[in-house]
Amino acid sequence: MSRSVRTPVPAASPVDGPPAGPAGVPAGGRAGLASGCWVVDGPLDPGALRVRGAGGGQEVPLTVLGPGSVGTDREEWGELIREETAAAEAEPGPGRVLLAQLDEERSLLVVVTKDTLLPAAVMRWLLTDDASFPAVGTRPEGLSRAAAGPADGQSGAAGRGPSGLPAGGDRASGYAGTVRVPAGRAAARLRSAGVPMEASLAVALAVLLVRCGSAPGTGIVVASDTPVAVTPRVAESVSGTVALRAGGHALASGVPVHPGFHAALAVSPCGVSEPERVGAYTASAVRPPDAVAHHGLMVLLEDDRLRMDYDTGLHEEGAVTTFAARLLAVLEELLDDRPVYGIVAAGAAERAAVTEWSRGAEAAVPAVCLHTLVEEHAARTPDAPAVRCGETELTYGRLDEDANRVARLLRAAGVGPGGLVALLTERAAWSVTAMLGTLKAGAAYVPIEPTYPPERVRRILDDSGAVVLLAGQEPEYAVPVPVLAGGEAAGLPGTPLGSPVTPDDLAYVIYTSGSTGTPKGIGVHHRAIVASTAARAVAGPPPGRDLVLPPLCFDGAAGGMFWALTSGGAVVLPTEHEAHDPMALRNLLESAAVTHVHAVPSHYGIVLQVAGREALGRLSMVAVGGEPLGPEIVAEHLRLCPQAPLFNDYGPTECAVWATTHRCGPAEATGAGIPIGRPVPGYQAYVLDGGLRPVPPGVPGEIWLGGPGVARGYHGRAALTAERFLPDPYRPGGRLYRTGDRGLWGQDGRLRILGRVDHQVKVRGFRIELGEVEAAVRRHPAVTECAVLLRQEGPTEQLVAFVVLGSRATVPELQGNIAESVPEQMRPHHIAIVPRLPRTPGGKVDALALRTMSVPSHTDTTDARTGMVDNRFP
């Protein structure tokens, strides 16, 4: 027999007194719900239950089940908890209470509460004679933001929760799955050492959460019947329910926690806890198996087994099993007295796998200079085609002779070994000749796009210290160095000049956007670019006729061009017209019998739209990189030219263009987040945390690159070089480059990029520091404040500048001023004049608000850049 009684109970804030063990763990995953289950010893009269509330209290349904209605099967008890939780979630009010009489002396008490009301406090109120409900406490300082949700805007309900576990779904289901792993060895070691399991697991869980990518403010809930030493950084012991910062700071004691806290640790043994005397009764907290999931993840002890209950709507069983193994691995390292900063949160098998994935195959790097490899082909096959652009075709013999003439021209102008030569790199065969001639003179070239604004050209010349500017024709503006026209070399001898240059000397210095508002030069030595081209030789078929689509000032062009020239292939350069006209480019593919294509994905995507099967039929390889590759491009490539492997390449200028690669297949044609693969031969790619420790698979970190392709550093910027280029802690004598890219290793052993750790963005493959764009906008005297970000505008991402003016100025005036100092790809697509910039409570510009802010129509009618038509190539 059962009856339902509706009685009021106050919807209280934090209550005094700790809850009783795991049954009192506050909700953390399902609508702010919490549940508790107790076996109450002593004759209990349901009608005598005193559930009186303070003034204005809300009513809570009380369900009473008579003797014999519920058995002693704990799975049945778990079903009761799930039913009560579902009912409480679906109806208003602060919760529900169920009393089931097991026999004359024992009853089962289930309490489900919402918001900030603790089940254990309600249980004690039900069973005692205290006439007053526990006083409502005040929230400790600093808790409000933590209780409002996961730190730093992270979500535990989608994507990747604070536990670092890959999400199995996008919302909490409230149903618990269970994983158990043996923990006998760790338990035995703890007992032998006399170390409390509670304190050790609390510390291990906190360390693991941080290692697994949780923000420092991620919440953990600890429920314990004994004092728990939280972490070595907290000089106090606490009892009861403790909200912890994953970094080790106690947040509060005895305070219920918002659903933003998805990790919980119940350090009392699973099952029945130590009995608690409550009034005239004895209450023993019980956690039935497979009960409702109030947290994304809960860790419990079962004798010598570690048990993890998880919300099946948030996590997958395999991921939870891996997490359990990692927790035990961390615990073992703590028992070995390993310093916390040195702990790697992965088991031996995972560590071995990550080590294998991080290193490319061993590869020998020829100890020669870049131009020497080209000279060898010129001597061997002088009549073989080397360069084609427009109507101009150069054989290897002609290319070598013309480059020797340029070297003599430079030497006569005072350029010697170690010098820098600036090149206006127009799309022309002459530009390739000038690059090789500079190298033959013992100098390094500094490529400059001819369309750059004069101010930017002058800044690059000043910063680089270039001795001369070599150009096809003299620029129309003044520059601070002598100008040499390429035609001046025509009458000079084409015999070799000879130079003492070595593989460790600079080959080129490429300038990219700088965060301080000034472009920065990246110095790449011969050994690095030779290593890059040598590694490419094992990646795919050797070049035949290699179409290089990026501008020659772009590092991606250097990689494709020199791979072809050092392998005996031919470089096919589109003219400016062909590069920007899809149909002209299609005709070039056919007339030049192109076999290889190097491009940024967006450019190659347009090629696929217009080329068709016939024009693409001769392709034997396509390599894309510089920006994210979309699945639609992979699908179209596989449809039109399945005979040609498509490689998704990754490698910044600081690593000579090429460091990892992934061959795309049908799987990449349907899913987002296409991998960048594994390191190429001779290279290393690490995903490290803030302490330079490798992170386990599936856990985000920063990508660091090593190997012979690592550049010398930033030209003339020793401090910045020391900050970004560090000794390799895993390969003595090696160096690592800190890319600033966030990434992770998938369980398939493939590297994936997640985004940036800084404010750098990419537009059509060009690296852009938002700070430099903002500095260009602020150069107008009317601008008082400015914020620039990359926003999704329709199908593309575009730069948008939000500007606050101190005096009158129009958008066209701002556009013209910006165009004087930065190249086309760095000019904002839209400029929005706003009265003020939104800011966070801390005073920083609120980027999230800017991303969702509508751009005023009067500033959004025209693309703010010039020289760019939507249906044209970059």
| pLDDT confidence of residue 21 | 29
Lowest mean pLDDT among 71-75, 163-167, 428-432, 660-664: 163-167
Nearest CA-CA partner of 600 in 670, 549, 636, 552: 549
> Using alpha carbons only, how large is the chain's radius of gyration in Å?
33
The torsion angles phi and psi of 387, rounded to 5 degrees, stand at -140, 135
| pLDDT confidence of residue 749 | 95
Residue 132: both structure tokens together:
């007053």
Residue 548: both structure tokens together:
């290089």
Residue 472: both structure tokens together:
């096809």
Confidence of residue 32 (pLDDT cuts 50, 70, 90): low
Q: Which residue has the higher pLDDT, 268 or 578?
A: 578
The torsion angles phi and psi of 185, rounded to 5 degrees, stand at -65, -45
Lowest mean pLDDT among 211-220, 237-246, 370-379, 427-436: 237-246
Confidence of residue 131 (pLDDT cuts 50, 70, 90): low
| pLDDT confidence of residue 59 | 59
Question: Residue 395: pLDDT above 80?
Answer: yes
* Residue 272 one-letter amino acid: V
Cβ atoms 256, 116 nearer than 8 A: yes
Nearest CA-CA partner of 796 in 528, 660, 591, 605: 605
Give me the count of residues in the chain. 874
**How many CB atoms are closer than 10 A to CB 170?**
11
Provide mean pLDDT across the span 285-302: 64
Question: Residue 336: pLDDT above 80?
Answer: yes
- Convert 175-194 into a string of H (helix), E (strand) and C (coil): EEEEEEEECHHHHHHHHHHC
Q: Report d(CA 71, CA 227) in Å as an integer.
A: 34
CB-based contacts of 129: which residues, under 8 Å, 6+ apart? Answer: 50, 279
Provide mean pLDDT across the span 209-221: 60
Lowest mean pLDDT among 93-97, 338-342, 579-583, 854-858: 854-858
* Residue 363 one-letter amino acid: A
* Tokens 């800084």 belong to residue: 758
Please report which residue ranges of 538-581 form alpha helices under DSSP H.
555-565, 576-580
Pairing, β 766-769 against β 760-763: antiparallel
| pLDDT confidence of residue 867 | 28
Q: Residue 616 burial by CB count (10 A; 0-12/13-18/19+): exposed, middle or buried?
A: buried
Q: What percentage of the chain reaches a pLDDT higher than 90?
A: 38
Nearest CA-CA partner of 655 in 688, 703, 621: 703
- Convert 382-438 into a string of H (helix), E (strand) and C (coil): CCCEEEEECCEEEEHHHHHHHHHHHHHHHHHCCCCCCCEEEEECCCCHHHHHHHHHH
Q: Residue 827 burial by CB count (10 A; 0-12/13-18/19+): exposed, middle or buried?
A: buried
* Tokens 């009392």 belong to residue: 268
The distance between the two most distant Cα atoms of the chain, rounded to a whole number of Å, is: 114
Pairing, β 621-625 against β 596-599: parallel
Could you tell me which residues are beta bridge partners of residue 76?
A: none
- The pLDDT mean for the chain works out to 78
Q: Which residue has the higher pLDDT, 222 or 732?
A: 732
Q: Report d(CA 662, CA 641) in Å as an integer.
A: 17
Give tens-digit pLDDT for 598-626.
Answer: 999 988 998 998 988 889 999 999 999 98
Q: Report d(CA 780, CA 778) in Å as an integer.
A: 5
Cβ atoms 339, 503 nearer than 8 A: no
**How many CB atoms are closer than 10 A to CB 56?**
8
- Convert 831-846 into a string of H (helix), E (strand) and C (coil): EEECCCCCECCCCCEC
DSSP state of 865: S
Q: Which residue has the higher pLDDT, 163 or 37?
A: 37
Question: Residue 204: pLDDT above 70?
Answer: yes
| pLDDT confidence of residue 438 | 97
Question: Residue 662: pLDDT above 90?
Answer: yes
Of the ranges 100-114, 309-323, 610-624, 828-842, the best mean pLDDT one: 610-624
Segment (H or E) for 352: helix 348-358
Question: Residue 66: pLDDT above 90?
Answer: no
Q: End-to-end alpha-carbon separation of the chain, Å?
A: 78
Pairing, β 570-573 against β 385-389: parallel
The torsion angles phi and psi of 14, rounded to 5 degrees, stand at -50, 135
Phi-psi domain of 548 (left: phi exceeds 0; alpha: psi -120 through 50; beta: other): beta
Nearest CA-CA partner of 694 in 768, 732, 751: 751
Confidence of residue 118 (pLDDT cuts 50, 70, 90): low
Question: Residue 816: pLDDT above 60?
Answer: yes
Question: Hey, what domains does the chain have and what are their CATH numbers?
Answer: 2-127 (no CATH), 143-272+288-355 (3.30.559), 370-745 (3.40.50.12780), 760-859 (3.30.300.30)
Provide mean pLDDT across the span 663-686: 92
Alpha carbon 412 to its chain centroid, in Å, reads 50
Cβ atoms 728, 706 nearer than 8 A: yes
CA angle in degrees (0–180, nearest 5) for 129-133-136: 155
Lowest mean pLDDT among 196-205, 615-624, 668-677: 196-205
Provide mean pLDDT across the span 847-861: 64
Please report which residue ranges of 16-154 form alpha helices under DSSP H.
74-90, 119-127, 143-147
Give tens-digit pLDDT for 464-521.
Answer: 999 999 998 889 899 999 999 988 999 899 999 888 899 999 999 999 887 666 789 9
Question: Residue 272: pLDDT above 50?
Answer: no
Question: Residue 9: pLDDT above 50?
Answer: no
Q: Report d(CA 132, CA 219) in Å as an integer.
A: 32
Confidence of residue 287 (pLDDT cuts 50, 70, 90): low
Q: Which residue has the higher pLDDT, 145 or 864?
A: 864
Question: Residue 458: pLDDT above 60?
Answer: yes
Query: Taking the CA of residue 332 as centre, how many other CA atoms within 13 Å lie in the half-sphere pointing to its CB?
Result: 15
The torsion angles phi and psi of 720, rounded to 5 degrees, stand at -65, -35
| pLDDT confidence of residue 259 | 38
Task: Give the sign of the dihedral formed by CA 259, CA 263, CA 266, CA 267.
Answer: negative
Confidence of residue 256 (pLDDT cuts 50, 70, 90): very low
Using CA atoms, how far residue 658 sits from 298, 563, 573, 623, 681, in Å, is: 43, 11, 20, 11, 10
Nearest CA-CA partner of 307 in 319, 289, 292: 289
Confidence of residue 841 (pLDDT cuts 50, 70, 90): low
Provide mean pLDDT across the span 165-184: 64
Provide mean pLDDT across the span 334-339: 82
DSSP string for residues in 452-496:
S-HHHHHHHHHHHT-SEEEESS--SS--SS-EEEGGGGTTS--S-
Confidence of residue 12 (pLDDT cuts 50, 70, 90): very low
Lowest mean pLDDT among 103-107, 179-183, 253-257, 319-323: 253-257
Nearest CA-CA partner of 627 in 704, 549, 723: 549
Q: Report d(CA 152, CA 160) in Å as an integer.
A: 13
Pairing, β 420-424 against β 468-471: parallel
Nearest CA-CA partner of 287 in 223, 204, 230: 223
| pLDDT confidence of residue 642 | 95
Q: Which residue has the higher pLDDT, 344 or 589?
A: 589
DSSP state of 139: P
Question: Residue 712: pLDDT above 70?
Answer: yes
Q: Report d(CA 655, CA 711) in Å as an integer.
A: 6
Cβ atoms 296, 156 nearer than 8 A: yes
Question: Residue 596: pLDDT above 60?
Answer: yes
Q: Report d(CA 570, CA 596) in Å as an integer.
A: 10
Q: Report d(CA 115, CA 764) in Å as an integer.
A: 48
| pLDDT confidence of residue 547 | 97
Confidence of residue 731 (pLDDT cuts 50, 70, 90): very high
Lowest mean pLDDT among 84-88, 831-835, 858-862: 858-862
Provide mean pLDDT across the span 228-232: 39
Lowest mean pLDDT among 7-11, 123-127, 176-180, 292-296: 7-11
Nearest CA-CA partner of 252 in 144, 117, 123, 124: 144
Is 808 strand, coil or helix?
A: coil
Segment (H or E) for 771: helix 770-778
Question: Residue 838: pLDDT above 90?
Answer: no
Phi-psi domain of 819 (left: phi exceeds 0; alpha: psi -120 through 50; beta: other): alpha
Q: Report d(CA 315, CA 772) in Å as an integer.
A: 41
